[in-house]
Structure 1
Amino acid sequence: MIDLLLRFLIGGMVVTVFSVVGDTVKPESLGGVFAAAPTIAMATVALTLHERGAGYVSMEGRSMVAGAAAFFVYACAVSWVMMRRKTDALPTATVLLMVWLGTAATLWAVWLRR
């Protein structure tokens, strides 16, 4: 219960700081870079380091990097298809979820699996 409370408090404070930073950045579309997910992840990593140690956090960190890389490939694929084919966002993003899944599975098999 204390872990959840700490994550809530740390995450809330960090999200607030990054929201202020995101509002001051021009163009404002870059404010999304400072969204909640990375800040919550950092709070979780800090608490996990205290609870489970550096080895566990190292594996979790590699998993986060692999997830971010898979999302980057997916976002690039969606963007490319939408710009080339002039398709709607929802069907394109839904169909190309397989790109994310394939990339994530490949990264897991090559880099993360022990």
Structure 2
Amino acid sequence: MSEYVIRFLVGGAVVSTFAMLGDVLKPKSFAGLFGAAPSVALATLGIAVYQHGAGYGAVQAGSMMMGAIALAIYSVIVCQLLVRARMSALPATITSMVVWFAAAFGLWFVAGGQV
């Protein structure tokens, strides 16, 4: 139970920090970008390092980075399908999910299946 309280407090503090950062930057759409994901990732990594050590935290950080790369690839493909191919949202999303999973598992395979 205390892990959830710590995650809540750390996540809330980091969300507030990123929200202030997003409020200062232009355009204002950065506020949403900086709002949730970085704070949850930082809180989770902090708890992982505290409970399991730096090696475990490094593996988790590597996994998060590979997931972010796969998500970026997915996002580019979705945008291309929506804008250039003029696909509707559902087929573009489903098609791009295949690419997302292929990118994620491909990165995992290249890393030797360790992450």
TM-score strictly above 0.5: yes
**Post-superposition offset of 1:22:** 1.5
Q: Distance in 1 between matches of 2:38 and 2:106?
A: 23
Do the aligned partners of 1:15 and 1:39 also contact (CA within 8 Å) in 2? Answer: yes
Do the aligned partners of 1:62 and 1:112 also contact (CA within 8 Å) in 2? Answer: no
The aligned residue for residue 48 of structure 2 is 48
Identify unmatched segments of 5+ residues in structure 2: none
One-letter amino acid of the structure 1 residue matched with residue 71 of structure 2: F
Identify unmatched segments of 5+ residues in structure 1: none
**Post-superposition offset of 1:112:** 4.8
Give 3-state SS (helix, strand or coil) of 2:87's partner: coil
Do the aligned partners of 1:70 and 1:103 also contact (CA within 8 Å) in 2? Answer: yes
Identity percentage of aligned residues? 38
**Post-superposition offset of 1:7:** 0.3
Quick check: which one's helix share is greater? Answer: 1
Compute the RMSD of aligned alpha carbons: 1.4
Task: Report the TM-score when normalising by structure 1.
Answer: 0.91
Q: Distance in 2 between matches of 1:24 and 1:56?
A: 35
Q: Distance in 2 between matches of 1:8 and 1:29?
A: 24
Q: Distance in 2 between matches of 1:11 and 1:111?
A: 29
The aligned residue for residue 19 of structure 1 is 19
Q: Distance in 2 between matches of 1:16 and 1:110?
A: 36
The aligned residue for residue 82 of structure 1 is 82
Deviations 1:15-64 (A, max 9, x none): 12211221232111222330211111101111211110011011101100
**Post-superposition offset of 1:14:** 1.1
Do the aligned partners of 1:63 and 1:112 also contact (CA within 8 Å) in 2? Answer: no
Give 3-state SS (helix, strand or coil) of 2:84's partner: helix
- State whether structure 2 residue 14 is matched by structure 1 residue 4: no
